[in-house]
Copies of this chain bind each other. A is one copy, B any other.
Amino acid sequence: MKYCSIGEAASKLNIPESTIRYYEKKGLLPLMERDGAGRRLFSEDQMALLETVMRLKNTLMPISKIKQYVDWVIEGSSTNDRRLDMMTKHKQAVLAQIALMTESLIGIDVKIARYTKRKHEEKEGLE
């Protein structure tokens, strides 16, 4: 088992160290190990958890909900069904968000087309 420092963890996942400390304070990274000088040691399991946290964050899950998930992970296998339920619902929410963005992009594309046309035709128009 290899351990890494907060600096290594931060640059691997391309996030500020301050964010990792903030996440730990918020309870998203429980049971962190430390070396003799009090520095955080990230085991491979902790790195995997941090990656999971980042995946949830990247899909716009709020911190409070990520914390609920992590709490269930710590609580153990009795929470398996609740985690399954949360992840399933979250997936649906993410798909809905992607659908919303995709549809909104269509309207944006219309503008891009219009602006492009005007650019080449030297036309005018509102918006």
Contacts and interface: CB of A to CB of B under 8 A. Distances in A.
A32 interface: no
Report the copy number of this chain in the oligomer: 2
Contacts of A55: 104, 107-108
Nearest to A83: B115
B112 A87 contact: yes
Specify the main secondary structure of chain A where it touches its partner: helix
A4 interface: no
Interface residues of A, number: 43
Contacts of A90: 108
Interface in A89-127: 90-91, 94-95, 97-98, 100-102, 104-105, 107-109, 111-112, 115-116, 118-119, 124-127
A83 to B, nearest CB: 6
A55 B80 CA distance: 38
Given A55-B108, A84-B116, A84-B119, 8 more contacts: A52-B127, A55-B104, A59-B101, A73-B127, A84-B112, A87-B111, A94-B105, A98-B98
